[in-house]
């Protein structure tokens, strides 16, 4: 009879240990993103105009300028296919004014997809006709 109780005791203890290990493992898992809810740390997007002094150009992996860094840390970005449009009017050290879609990431990095860039030093302006607003959020109509 003692052997039967000892076995049940060992099985019970093993089950509780396994459940405790599974609970610890599952607590370390990332949250379930399968629902249609947006993450709480979504980035903020708005149209904005910024001014600053060009600190440096920002290059892509192919060494083509993809934007510039302002002295306040703002990153002004443009598409690769229109790089020359912007690089021909601005140099490091120039004061510029840029308008476009400002995206502040969860890491507080500020990126501006430029729509218009004006060099305040030489008064030249370049535009990005491809700069588009972020997609509108779907809002279901409540009208019937």
Quick: pLDDT tens for 76-103. 999 889 999 999 999 999 999 999 998 7
Domain boundaries, the chain: 44-127
57 pLDDT band (50/70/90 cuts)?
A: very high
Quick: pLDDT tens for 96-141. 999 999 877 667 777 899 999 999 999 999 999 877 666 555 555 4
Residues 44-127: name the CATH superfamily: Nucleic acid-binding proteins (2.40.50.140)
**How many other CB atoms are found less than 10 A from the CB of residue 63?**
7
């Amino acid at each position: 009879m003692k052997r039967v109780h000892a076995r049940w005791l060992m099985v019970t203890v093993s089950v509780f240990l396994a459940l405790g290990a599974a609970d610890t493992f599952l607590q370390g898992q990332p949250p379930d993103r399968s629902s249609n809810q947006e993450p709480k740390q979504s980035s903020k997007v708005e149209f904005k105009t910024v001014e600053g002094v060009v600190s440096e150009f920002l290059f892509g992996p192919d060494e083509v300028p993809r934007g510039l860094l302002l002295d306040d840390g703002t990153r002004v970005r443009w598409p690769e296919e229109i790089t020359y449009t912007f690089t021909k009017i601005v140099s490091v050290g120039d004061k510029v004014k840029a308008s476009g879609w400002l995206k502040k990431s969860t890491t507080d990095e500020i990126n501006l997809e430029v729509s218009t860039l004006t060099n305040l030093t030489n008064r030249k302006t370049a535009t990005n006709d491809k700069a588009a607003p972020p997609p509108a959020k779907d809002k279901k109509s409540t009208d019937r």
